[in-house]
Structure formats: structure tokens, C-alpha cells
Chain A
């Protein structure tokens, strides 16, 4: 059986992420940071600079006027969205793979992750409070632990988890933790910490199934709440259901805390279902270097 220590060693063997990503994440997470700090981090990374400009001038984001500087791009897109896209580009290649350990076919985990990130982003249209800007990136990465754990979930382990779920009447994540000694959310938190992402982002991944964990204390947990809601929205619109199915806690405190109502939740689900194909396509276009900036 796999241990958390062995998984940690596996994380060390994953391709390193560009150093600009945790740096940008730290600045996005810092309420005292100013625009120039964000611009400087992006400009020090040529690939991030060109991706940011391409994204700002893409058909999806461009209202017709071209931007020519990183500063204008940040003002148009927001630093949280730029971070999410930078991380998304780096991680997409891994997340599009099938995750047989979780009964997720090819592209399913990726589409689920993008749907959750899009929901966290669109939440700001319905929420009554400001959502922490790392929320989109945290939502995109919330199931990264599944990617790492999947290959270790043998048919026997999967059967044990399923049996405990059914007979013990436990949520999937609890059954997983009972059998393995840890769960996919914790593993995701370990990965995010190893990549030097800020605490607020690590927390939002590690606790995405338990947004109101008593140990979390006071502070701004809007990113965590947004990730929790993003995950439920992705499931409601039928993406990434897998072996976990609907057997997870949906915590109304997370939704009410942001000022959502059952009706605005449904509006959010509809909005995400509508937008998702375009956002998935946007990542694919950028991957293949397709530019629509002159449309």
C-alpha cells in the first residue's frame, strides 16, 4: 500500500513548475501587493509574458481593442485569472490523462477542473462578498491529488473503498482516508505546498471537501468556499462524476457565507455549463499557439 511519504517522493519527480508561478501566486495572495509587482513577475518570464498578451488579445477576452503591454493585460484580465491560465497550461498535459483509479476517462479530470475553476470565477457575479483571487487557481488544482493517487488505486483498493462507502454509509473521501490513511484532497495540498504555492491556496485544495473544518480558524476562507462550490457545480453539470459520484458533502455554509441562494446556485450552474466549451477550447487554442487577436 502506498504511503504519503512515498507519494511525496513521487511529487519530487514530477516536472518542476516554472518559478514564476509560485511567485505570482504569492503576490496574488498578498492584499498589500501592487500592480507593478505583478507586472514585474510576469515580465521576468518570457513565456508567461507572451501567453498573458495572447490571452488578453484572444477572441474570448478581447473586446476588440488590442493590448500591447503586460500592465494593460493585467488590468484587463486580473492577476488571479492570469495565474490560473499559467498554471493551467503547465498542468493540462497531466490532467487530460485518464484516471482509472477514479473511473475518469481521458480529458474528464481536466474538464472537471476547468469547470470548477470557471465556477469559482463566475461566482463573483452572484456572490455578495469578494472572492479571494487565488480561488480560480485553487479550483483548477483541487483534484490534482487524484491525478497522483489514481495509478496506486488497484482494483482491490477501489473495491475496499466502495464497500466501506456502501456498508459504512461514508462519503467517498472519508472511505478513501480510512482505507489509505489519507485522501486525495490532502495529497493535493501536499503537492501545492511542495510547489511553494501560498498557504491560502494550499488550504483551499487540502480542505475542499471540508470547508468548515474547525481547525481552520478565522481569516479569509473565501477561496476555500469558492473551491468547494466550484467542485459541486462541476458535478451538478455532470462533469467528473467518476467513482466518487455524488457521494460527498455539499456544505451550505460555504454557499451562504458567500451570499448565494439556491436560485443563484442554479444560475451559476447554467452559466458554467454554457461557458465551459469555450474555456476548454481557449486552453487548447493557446496550447497550439492559435491566435485570434486580429479578429
Chain B
């Protein structure tokens, strides 16, 4: 069965229950991509969030909940439960959070994104199965529905996650 290729934009999320579909998100710089997958229910989701904290623009977090980690991550899980995913079975993999060469960590949004994400996972008892974060490279992240396979491409090289 040929699956679809669903592109997740910046500040965006997509879910799929169709085996063979591939969810992909490009240009993960300081943004973070989170792939979640329940192998039993065959439910997968890919989120590409941009900023850690919606308090800088609460109105926007209502209009576009996928921009900010604090709103987007709980909602990603909630939407997957609606499609039959179970928190105990969900496998979580993350990539992104790249950093500028920042003299004083003023622009360290990649790091702040990562810290906020880990805090939310910790508070909710979520374990990360695979992670590739930091550095200065941009990443493209893929999630294949049916197999749960997650892989990254950066600088033309492909690595499994």
C-alpha cells in the first residue's frame, strides 16, 4: 500500500493512522520536532514547535496552538488519545534545538525549547526513547506510520533515531 507524504510546517502538527504514511518536517533549526507513535493502535504524530512559552503571546497560542511548547506538547498527546493511542505505549523521539554561536546564551532559544520540553515530559511521566538535539545543524525529521520508524537527515546524511 502506498502511503501519503504529509509535510508538517513550522509551528504545525499532523497525525496519521494510515500505515505507509510518512510524516516529515523540514528546517528544524532551533525549533524542536517531536514524533510520537503507538505501535499497537498504529497512531503517529509529528509536531514542529518554535518557541518554549506561550505567555509571550497568549492570543496566538489559541489561534495556533502548535507554535509554543507549553501548549503544543500536551495537545499533541491529547489528539493522539482521541485516535486511540495509549500513553503507556507511546514511543517518543525528538530532534532539533540547534543553537547559534551565542556569546551569552541570549539567543539560546534552542536550549530553552529543549528545557521546556523536558520539563513538560518530566511532569507527565513521559520518557524519551530517542533524541538528537543541539549543535548548529538544521535537521529534517521523518516518522513512518506502520513501522514507527523515525529518521533524520542533516547535511545530506541520513541517521536513524
Q: Which A residue's beta carbon lies closest to that of B102?
A: A250
**A273 to chain B: which residues have CB within 8 Å?**
10-11, 50, 67
- For chain B, give the interface size range: 35 or more
A270 touches B99 (CB 8 A): no
Q: In the complex, which of the residues A245, A249, A262, A270 contacts B29, with contact meaning CB atoms closer than 8 Å? A: A245
Q: In the complex, which of the residues A238, A252, A253, A274 contacts B10, with contact meaning CB atoms closer than 8 Å? A: A238
**B138 to chain A: which residues have CB within 8 Å?**
241, 245-246
Interface residues of A in 222-254 (CB under 8 A from B): 232, 235-239, 241, 245-253
Most buried by B among A162, A171, A263, A270: A270
**A171 to chain B: which residues have CB within 8 Å?**
101
A265: CB under 8 A from chain B? yes
CA distance A246 to B106 in the complex (A): 15
CA distance A248 to B28 in the complex (A): 16
**A255 to chain B: which residues have CB within 8 Å?**
106-107
Q: Please judge, given known A-B contacts A250-B107, A252-B104, whether A269 and B60 are in contact too, CB under 8 Å.
A: no
Interface residues of A in 98-157 (CB under 8 A from B): none
CA distance A248 to B30 in the complex (A): 13
B103: CB under 8 A from chain A? yes
B10 touches A237 (CB 8 A): yes
B147: CB under 8 A from chain A? no
Expressed in whole angstroms, the minimum distance between the Cβ of A31 and any Cβ of chain B is 29
Per-position binary interface string of chain B over residues 53-92, scored 1 when its CB falls under 8 Å from any chain A CB and 0 otherwise: 1001100100010011000000000000000000000000
A177: CB under 8 A from chain B? no
**B104 to chain A: which residues have CB within 8 Å?**
252
Q: In the complex, which of the residues A245, A247, A248, A250 contacts B106, with contact meaning CB atoms closer than 8 Å? A: A250
Expressed in whole angstroms, the minimum distance between the Cβ of A236 and any Cβ of chain B is 5
**B28 to chain A: which residues have CB within 8 Å?**
238
A267 touches B56 (CB 8 A): yes
**A251 to chain B: which residues have CB within 8 Å?**
103
Interface residues of B in 20-68 (CB under 8 A from A): 27-31, 48, 50-53, 56-57, 60, 64, 67-68
B99 touches A246 (CB 8 A): yes
Tally the A-B contacts, defined by beta carbons under 8 Å: 101
Q: Please judge, given known A-B contacts A246-B138, A248-B100, whether A232 and B107 are in contact too, CB under 8 Å.
A: yes
B52 touches A266 (CB 8 A): yes
A292: CB under 8 A from chain B? no
A290: CB under 8 A from chain B? no
Q: Please judge, given known A-B contacts A236-B109, A256-B106, A273-B11, whether A266 and B51 are in contact too, CB under 8 Å.
A: yes
CA distance A274 to B104 in the complex (A): 27
Q: Please judge, given known A-B contacts A236-B29, A245-B136, whether A269 and B109 are in contact too, CB under 8 Å.
A: yes
A271: CB under 8 A from chain B? yes
B95: CB under 8 A from chain A? no
CA distance A21 to B155 in the complex (A): 39
A236 touches B101 (CB 8 A): no
CA distance A256 to B112 in the complex (A): 18
CA distance A245 to B108 in the complex (A): 15
**B103 to chain A: which residues have CB within 8 Å?**
249-253
A267 touches B109 (CB 8 A): no
Q: Please judge, given known A-B contacts A171-B101, A266-B56, A270-B60, whether A246 and B10 are in contact too, CB under 8 Å.
A: no
CA distance A162 to B101 in the complex (A): 16
A238 touches B106 (CB 8 A): no
CA distance A59 to B18 in the complex (A): 42
**A249 to chain B: which residues have CB within 8 Å?**
100-103
Further pairs besides A241-B138, A248-B101: 7, Cβ < 8 Å: A237-B10, A246-B136, A247-B101, A255-B106, A267-B57, A270-B60, A273-B10
Question: Can you report 12 residue pairs joining A to B where beta carbons are below 8 Å apart?
Answer: A237-B50, A238-B27, A245-B137, A246-B99, A246-B136, A249-B100, A250-B100, A253-B103, A265-B107, A267-B57, A270-B50, A270-B67
